[in-house]
């Protein structure tokens, strides 16, 4: 039986200014309060319970919940993940997860029910990553509601093969990113976003003019500032996405992982 619940709850009555202020307070943080020896400060049990609950309340495609979170608790697993992702804060965060697309569990449900899982690797990536992101976003937002901050870690792409080994991820399970949560120990700047007309389109897609793009770069430049030096967002994007950038290095690793996990729909 599905549990009837009222559609309007007190938690759904914040006004627009409060909602805007809440999302304005979002900061990715990479330094967390920890024990003097560097070991993580645990979250109170009810806070952990609330953020895990939030993750599982995410909407999901086709009722399937095509994701899994692997909670990293053992120091040696955290340490290995630091190396594999090149993100040191995995060691000290109160909580650290690897957020995965997961089409294995739904295949198991079908098998146990005597049905044969179909072949849909592109669909697996599309909806699996979507479900994983929605669950992770719910988790992070819930943590922020409780006063914590966090960091998504796409650095899992740097060590995909080793992460699949370390976490013993079976075929059908693909890491999307790691996600750390904790009490911030840094003074984090409020980071800008691309101006709205380039992001929120009305009825039809609006291709930005060169001037709009240049203006967006100017707005975004502070996000690339380091140690008092003015930022250059286009240069930062180039280091990721231009010819010879790090994404070209990640591409074959992701392709190999998709093949290894049985989620590759291309040729070869």
- Is residue 87 involved in binding ligand FMN (CB under 6 A)? yes
Residues 6+ apart with CB under 8 A from 185: 29, 31, 32, 33, 34
User: Of 158 and 261, which CB lies nearer to ligand FMN in the complex structure?
Assistant: 158
Which residue in the set 32, 152, 233, 264 belongs to the binding site for ligand FMN (CB under 6 A)? 152
- Is residue 151 involved in binding ligand FMN (CB under 6 A)? yes
Owner of token pair 């304005």: 24
Q: Where are the beta strands (DSSP E) in 62-218?
A: 67-71, 95-102, 149-153, 173-182
User: Of 62 and 218, which CB lies nearer to ligand FMN in the complex structure?
Assistant: 218
User: Of 209 and 246, which CB lies nearer to ligand FMN in the complex structure?
Assistant: 246
CA distance 259 to 245: 23
Task: Please list the residues that pair with 149 across neighbouring strands.
Answer: 182
Given a contact cutoff of 8 angstroms between Cβ atoms, the answer to whether 41 and 183 are in contact is yes
User: Of 148 and 152, which CB lies nearer to ligand FMN in the complex structure?
Assistant: 152
Q: Judged by CB under 6 A, which stretch of 48-56, 147-155, 165-173, 245-253 contacts ligand FMN?
A: 147-155
- Is residue 259 involved in binding ligand FMN (CB under 6 A)? no
CA distance 99 to 176: 6
Which residue in the set 177, 220, 257, 258 belongs to the binding site for ligand FMN (CB under 6 A)? 177
User: Of 49 and 186, which CB lies nearer to ligand FMN in the complex structure?
Assistant: 186
Q: Judged by CB under 6 A, which stretch of 94-102, 148-156, 164-172, 237-245 contacts ligand FMN?
A: 148-156
Given a contact cutoff of 8 angstroms between Cβ atoms, the answer to whether 182 and 32 are in contact is yes
We find the least distance from the C-beta atom of residue 155 to ligand FMN, in angstroms, to be 4
CA distance 38 to 261: 35
CA distance 241 to 117: 36
Residues 6+ apart with CB under 8 A from 178: 72, 81, 85, 87, 90, 96, 97, 98, 99, 152, 153, 155, 156
- Is residue 222 involved in binding ligand FMN (CB under 6 A)? no
Which residue in the set 128, 130, 155, 182 belongs to the binding site for ligand FMN (CB under 6 A)? 155
User: Of 117 and 154, which CB lies nearer to ligand FMN in the complex structure?
Assistant: 154
Which residue in the set 101, 132, 134, 153 belongs to the binding site for ligand FMN (CB under 6 A)? 153
- Is residue 28 involved in binding ligand FMN (CB under 6 A)? yes
Given a contact cutoff of 8 angstroms between Cβ atoms, the answer to whether 104 and 67 are in contact is no
- Token reading at 13: 């009555």
DSSP class of residue 200 equals S
Residues near ligand FMN (CB under 6 A), total: 13
Q: Which of 229, 250, 254, 252 minimizes the C-alpha distance to 240?
A: 250
Which residue in the set 33, 126, 154, 254 belongs to the binding site for ligand FMN (CB under 6 A)? 154
- Is residue 71 involved in binding ligand FMN (CB under 6 A)? no
Where do contacts with ligand FMN occur on this chain (CB under 6 A)?
26-28, 30, 87, 151-155, 177, 191, 223
């Amino acid at each position: 039986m599905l549990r009837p619940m009222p559609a309007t709850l007190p938690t759904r009555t914040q006004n627009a200014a409060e909602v805007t202020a809440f999302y304005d307070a979002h900061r990715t943080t990479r330094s967390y309060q920890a024990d003097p020896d560097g070991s993580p400060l645990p979250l109170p049990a009810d806070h952990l319970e609330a953020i895990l609950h939030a993750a599982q309340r995410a909407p999901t495609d086709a009722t399937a919940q095509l994701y899994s979170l692997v909670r990293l608790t053992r120091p040696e697993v955290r340490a290995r993940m630091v190396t594999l992702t090149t993100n040191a804060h995995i060691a000290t965060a109160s909580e650290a997860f690897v957020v995965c697309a997961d089409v294995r569990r739904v295949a198991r449900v079908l098998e146990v029910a005597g049905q044969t899982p179909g072949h849909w690797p592109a669909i697996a990536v599309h909806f699996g990553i979507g479900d994983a992101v929605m669950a992770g976003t719910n988790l992070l937002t819930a943590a922020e509601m409780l006063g914590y901050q966090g960091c998504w870690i796409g650095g899992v792409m740097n060590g995909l093969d080793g992460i699949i080994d370390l976490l013993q991820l079976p075929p059908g399970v693909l890491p999307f990113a790691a996600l750390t949560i904790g009490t911030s120990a840094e003074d984090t700047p409020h980071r800008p976003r691309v101006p709205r007309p380039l992001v929120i389109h009305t009825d039809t897609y609006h291709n930005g003019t060169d001037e709009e793009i240049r203006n967006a770069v100017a707005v975004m430049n502070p996000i690339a500032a380091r140690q008092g030096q003015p930022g250059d967002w286009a240069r930062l994007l180039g280091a990721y996405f231009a010819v010879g950038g790090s994404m070209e290095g990640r591409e074959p690793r992701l392709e190999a992982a998709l093949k290894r996990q049985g989620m590759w729909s291309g040729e070869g």
